Chains A and B, each alone.
Chain A
Amino acid sequence: MRRALLVMLVAAGSAAADPAADAFLKAETVTASPVQAVPTSVGDPQWMKTPPVSFRLSAQRSVRLNDKRANELIEQPGFGEVRVRALASATELGVLLTWNDATQNVLRPDETNAYADSAAIEIPNVYGAGKRLPYVGMGDVELPVRLYMQRAVAKGVQANEYVAAGFGSLTRVPRVQATMAMEYDAKLKLWRALFVRPITVDGHTLTQSSLVPMAFALWDGARNERGGYKQLSAWHFVILPKPELDVAYVKYLSWGYKPGDLGDPERGRAIAETVCIACHHLPGKTIAPPGVAPNLSDIGAIASPIYLRESITNANGVIIHALNPNAHYMKTAPPDKTGAYPNADAFQWSATLPDGKPISKMPPFTVYTPEQVGDLVAYLKTLDGTKKQETKP
């Protein structure tokens, strides 16, 4: 199927013999096979006939949360990968996620400290040629995302549909308009999670481009994972059978996939370890107070090259509010008359201008040449702490 697409690409002409597009399509896409109707049962044989594509998962460490036990468990190897299958009809898109999990964990109505195996997909509200990619962790201020999440319960799932525009903004959509199901295969020790949604929901249509950006997240109940404790993928792309491949979008997304695009990671490291570490944590470089800015130690596993380039050169276009603005308060400031100390500004990632517009605390690094930015992105792409859980499939 992918080969057929490349043929299409060649037929489209403009991207012919573009090695970056080639490498990007090979690494980051899963093709939705056309079907009359997308099957809504996990065990439908049509799913098994569809070849899966594996994508890497990495534990969420950009922001640190405050559960002591979960923070210990995060150091252990995770799932490592998720296998994705996609089918599309004229009216629906379906994806089936499969992953190995040694233990089945469901939401327990009797215990206060139990966690459910869960799965989610997210899709940007707007995408396509000329559109930037949102931050992979639930979107950003400018570019909201739509999310579908299911948690395993004793019988079936607890399924929800959400919109989000960055950390803390996840909000349930009153009516779930997708079909979700999750089944654990105790013999093979693996989960299968199905998401089928209409092509158009509340004016959000999946035909904005033939490439639908999609990111995946899994939660392992055995690792006390929930919320921000999760294993997530970078943005990947589901290629719809129709319309024709969005060559302009591929050209934009494939920056950084051709050898030579990215430059020298060692030169990039030299810049990062003198400049970026003032606010960000990098492997072995943790001089900034934790929480002042996203921890970049695993950023290569979840961020696309083009997203990294834009975050460096246009930080104000990629504003993400701090996960929790109240987790640090200013002990040196005088408390108010109820004894409350004000939040510490240093830990807010964005500020509000007098005209009400948000501005990122990170300045746009326009001083760097395109080569230096390429070096930096090359270095950041090497930061990948993905650890895989050892299970026998």
Chain B
Amino acid sequence: MSARQLAMVMDLNKCIGCQTCTVACKTQWTNRNGREYMYWNNVETKPGDGYPKKWEALGGGFDAGGNLQDGVVPSKYSEYGVPWDYNQDEILKGAELQPGSDPTVGPNWDEDVGAGDFPNSYFFYLPRICNHCSNPGCLAACPRNAIFKRDQDGIVLVDLNRCEGYKLCIAGCPYKKIYFNPKLSKSEKCIFCFPRIEKGLPPACAQQCVGRIRFVGYLDDAEGQVAKLVNQYKVALPLHPEYGTQPNVYYVPPMSGPRKFDKNGKPIEGSDRIPLAYLESLFGPAVHDSLKTLHAEMDKRKAGKPSELMDLLIAYKHSDMFRIGTKAPEGFKLPVLK
């Protein structure tokens, strides 16, 4: 649908759930003008309900035949959550700390809850932005031709002059990463920080990432780390590929941390703390090969042998991780916009 595609890879093994990306995005784009409730970038705990609440059950995306599926428009009150205040003044006079309302949902509501029973409980963090899909569900649902993919980088944008606020894009996006601005009565979404991209800078969330988990580059830039992780090593996988939108944010799946413990508190050799079936439900069957490659390369490095993949995932230099200003491949011509 676009001539080139910019993509992001996030290494989930290094995400510490600090929300610095969330704050970078919020202060840059969503702290004003009806966007206050929105998190274009959020970090959620998996397994968990996520944000908006239970988004994976809200429909949208395409069926196996490539047909757009019905979806649900989430409510600010029951799925996104409304910010609340605490009784800071009263606690000075001896009152207990209480929220000013009785919130039941919020953007990071089930942080660190995860699943499993102690001592074998588990969770990991999943940062989410718009996937800038190659077949976007939002674009497919819009009856106004108000959503488009930029030819030069595949960034998915809303033309606010054409948007009439019908919210069908929100029903159509299976990731619920396009939001309704009730103040402006228009849909708005992650713009992959395109004004930064145009200056050769990575999106704010990637720039600020403390764990250096994010790589940004073009999928056709074979020398770039993004293309190596996605196409060469095939360790970075799209989230819920079965939604059929061909997402362009890729995740290096979490390798299980410590082994599970038996009744006597002894580690069980070869056990997976995070069930593989759960990872498969998020990243598809390719997750098995991805994890095999990651373990094999890690073992190589442990044995003192070189591993380009491990070096790459260490993320030494921003200049290697972010290849935004790369020249288009030989023969590439940007089509004239109609």
> Once the chains bind, are B4 and A338 in contact (CB under 8 Å)?
yes
> Once the chains bind, are A67 and B1 in contact (CB under 8 Å)?
no
A110 to B83, CA, bound (A): 12
Indicate with 1 or 0, residue by residue over A100-130, a CB within 8 angstroms of chain B CB atoms.
Answer: 0000000111111110000000000000000
A338 in contact with B1 given A109-B182, A329-B66 (CB within 8 Å): yes
Q: Per a CB cutoff under 8 Å, which of A65, A327, A339 touches B134?
A: A339
B155 shortest CB reach to chain A, Å = 12
B161-169, B199-207, B286-294, B301-309: which lies at the interface: B161-169
Indicate with 1 or 0, residue by residue over A319-331, a CB within 8 angstroms of chain B CB atoms.
Answer: 0000110111111
A326 in contact with B134 given A69-B72, A109-B183, A338-B2 (CB within 8 Å): no
Please give, as numbers and ranges, the residues of chain A lying within 8 Å of B64 by CB-CB distance.
Answer: 331
**Can you show 26 pairs from A to B with CB atoms below 8 A apart?**
A65-B168, A66-B60, A66-B69, A66-B168, A67-B70, A109-B34, A111-B75, A111-B76, A112-B76, A112-B80, A112-B180, A112-B182, A113-B180, A114-B182, A158-B185, A227-B166, A227-B168, A228-B143, A291-B67, A324-B142, A329-B140, A335-B246, A339-B5, A339-B134, A340-B246, A341-B66
> Once the chains bind, are A107 and B185 in contact (CB under 8 Å)?
yes
A113 in contact with B5 given A328-B68, A331-B65 (CB within 8 Å): no
Indicate with 1 or 0, residue by residue over A277-303, a CB within 8 angstroms of chain B CB atoms.
Answer: 000000000000001000000000000
A335 to B72, CA, bound (A): 28
A326 to B68, CA, bound (A): 9
> Once the chains bind, are B67 and A327 in contact (CB under 8 Å)?
yes
Please give, as numbers and ranges, the residues of chain A lying within 8 Å of B141 by CB-CB distance.
Answer: 65-66, 324, 327
Q: Which positions 100-159 of chain B face chain A at CB distance < 8 Å?
A: 134-135, 139-145, 154
Please give, as numbers and ranges, the residues of chain B lying within 8 Å of A109 by CB-CB distance.
Answer: 34, 182-183
Known contacts A68-B71, A114-B182; 6 additional CB pairs below 8 A are A66-B168, A68-B171, A107-B185, A329-B135, A331-B64, A338-B134
> Once the chains bind, are A339 and B246 in contact (CB under 8 Å)?
yes
**Closest B residue to A107 using CB positions:** B185
Please give, as numbers and ranges, the residues of chain A lying within 8 Å of B168 by CB-CB distance.
Answer: 65-67, 227
> Once the chains bind, are A337 and B220 in contact (CB under 8 Å)?
yes
**Closest B residue to A110 using CB positions:** B182
A239 shortest CB reach to chain B, Å = 32
Please give, as numbers and ranges, the residues of chain A lying within 8 Å of B162 by CB-CB distance.
Answer: 171
A284 to B295, CA, bound (A): 57
B174 shortest CB reach to chain A, Å = 11
A61 shortest CB reach to chain B, Å = 14
A330 in contact with B66 given A66-B60, A339-B134 (CB within 8 Å): yes
**Closest A residue to B58 using CB positions:** A68
Please give, as numbers and ranges, the residues of chain B lying within 8 Å of A114 by CB-CB distance.
Answer: 182
A69 in contact with B246 given A168-B145, A338-B134, A340-B2 (CB within 8 Å): no
A71 in contact with B74 given A109-B183, A226-B165 (CB within 8 Å): no
Indicate with 1 or 0, residue by residue over B183-222, a CB within 8 angstroms of chain A CB atoms.
Answer: 1010000000000000000000000000000000001100
A108 to B77, CA, bound (A): 13
> Once the chains bind, are B185 and A113 in contact (CB under 8 Å)?
no
Q: Does A336 contact B (CB under 8 A)?
A: yes
Please give, as numbers and ranges, the residues of chain B lying within 8 Å of A335 by CB-CB distance.
Answer: 134, 246
A291 to B81, CA, bound (A): 36
> Once the chains bind, are A66 and B135 in contact (CB under 8 Å)?
no
A residues bordering B, Cβ < 8 Å?
Answer: 65-69, 71, 107-114, 158, 167-172, 224, 226-228, 291, 323-324, 326-331, 335-341, 344
B218 shortest CB reach to chain A, Å = 10
A336 to B3, CA, bound (A): 9
Indicate with 1 or 0, residue by residue over B48-73, a CB within 8 angstroms of chain A CB atoms.
Answer: 00000000000110101111111111
Please give, as numbers and ranges, the residues of chain A lying within 8 Å of B165 by CB-CB distance.
Answer: 226
Interface of B is mostly: loop
A112 in contact with B179 given A65-B168, A66-B171, A338-B219 (CB within 8 Å): yes
A107 to B4, CA, bound (A): 39
A390 to B62, CA, bound (A): 37
Please give, as numbers and ranges, the residues of chain A lying within 8 Å of B161 by CB-CB distance.
Answer: 172
B248 shortest CB reach to chain A, Å = 8
Please give, as numbers and ranges, the residues of chain A lying within 8 Å of B17 by CB-CB distance.
Answer: none
**Closest A residue to B1 using CB positions:** A340
A172 to B146, CA, bound (A): 13
Please give, as numbers and ranges, the residues of chain A lying within 8 Å of B68 by CB-CB distance.
Answer: 66, 324, 327-328
For A171, A224, A226, A291, which residue has the most chain B Cβ atoms within 10 angstroms?
Answer: A226
Please give, as numbers and ranges, the residues of chain B lying within 8 Å of A344 by CB-CB distance.
Answer: 66
**Closest B residue to A342 using CB positions:** B1
> Once the chains bind, are A327 and B140 in contact (CB under 8 Å)?
yes
**Closest A residue to B219 using CB positions:** A338
A168 to B159, CA, bound (A): 13
Please give, as numbers and ranges, the residues of chain A lying within 8 Å of B77 by CB-CB distance.
Answer: 111
> Once the chains bind, are B66 and A331 in contact (CB under 8 Å)?
yes
Q: Does B172 contact A (CB under 8 A)?
A: yes
**Closest B residue to A323 using CB positions:** B143
Please give, as numbers and ranges, the residues of chain B lying within 8 Å of A112 by CB-CB distance.
Answer: 37, 73-76, 80, 167, 170, 179-180, 182
A209 to B93, CA, bound (A): 78
A211 to B167, CA, bound (A): 37
> Once the chains bind, are B66 and A328 in contact (CB under 8 Å)?
yes
B199 shortest CB reach to chain A, Å = 23
**Closest A residue to B4 using CB positions:** A338
Q: Which 5 A-B pairs have the closest CB atoms?
A: A227-B166, A340-B134, A338-B5, A68-B70, A331-B66
B213 shortest CB reach to chain A, Å = 23
Please give, as numbers and ranges, the residues of chain A lying within 8 Å of B34 by CB-CB distance.
Answer: 109
> Once the chains bind, are B143 and A329 in contact (CB under 8 Å)?
no
A71 to B172, CA, bound (A): 14
Please give, as numbers and ranges, the residues of chain B lying within 8 Å of A67 by CB-CB distance.
Answer: 70-73, 167-168, 171
Please give, as numbers and ranges, the residues of chain A lying within 8 Å of B182 by CB-CB distance.
Answer: 107-112, 114
